[in-house]
Amino acid sequence: MALIKTQCVEPIAEEAREAPRDCAGLISRLAASDPTARRWAARDLVDCPEAAAALVERLKQEVDVSVREVILTTLTSLGDPIAIAGLVDCLRSEDTALRNEAIEAMQQLPDAVAPVMHGLLADPDPDLRIFAVNILESLCHPQVETWLIEVIDQDPHVNVCGAAVDLLGEVGTRNARASLQRLKARFANEPYIRFAADLALGRLHEN
């Protein structure tokens, strides 16, 4: 005997959306037990700039992948300093998926991320500096090469420099040549750095 559907999906979604539609009501719905309700709230909060902090806090504990995706989309649309600071804080999480999601979100916000990039690249934690280099991988900003050159000129950690030199091989111009030569000399006993620097030197684009 064929199964008979007792209810359809859409009414459930609409019911989950039934709540005060003001910003305060939407923020409260981020803690709803129903992930559909949380997803609606996260989507509708795009018109509430004051919701960035609450969205970040929810993101850090949200277990439903679809809700996380909507939260990140809304945070990207807001793109204000609170949203950026929250995404930076996510880079320090032990949750690998959350870190990667934060990196991808920040890559979509070049102008908003630019003011904090120097701080990220100078962070005491070398892992966070590597994450910052990862953000630069897809960050469409005119300063990307300059930031990478500063990394290979100044960063003391071989793994951070390794990440930066790999990316310079993809986006660098001849402006990076002298810095790459200095990097080879600075890490003369690191075979990978020498190899990666030579590879980057061979790939440098014309100005």
**How many alpha carbons fall within 13 Å on the CB side of residue 190?**
17
Q: Tell me 206's DSSP state.
A: P
Distance CA 160, CA 167 (A): 11
Which pLDDT does position 9 carry in this prediction? 40
What token pair was written down for 20?
A: 């005060």
pLDDT tens for the chain, 207 residues long, are: 444 443 444 444 555 555 557 999 999 999 999 999 999 999 999 999 999 999 999 999 999 999 999 999 999 999 999 999 999 999 999 999 999 999 999 999 999 999 999 999 999 999 999 999 999 999 999 999 999 999 999 999 999 999 999 999 999 999 999 999 999 999 999 999 999 999 999 999 765
Domains 16-108 and 112-207 share a fold: yes
Domain range annotation of the chain: 16-108, 112-207
The CATH class given to the 112-207 domain equals mainly alpha
Please check whether residue 161 is in contact with residue 148, taking contact to mean a CB–CB distance below 8 angstroms.
no
**16-108 under CATH 3.90.550.10, yes or no:** no
Output the pTM of the full model. 0.87
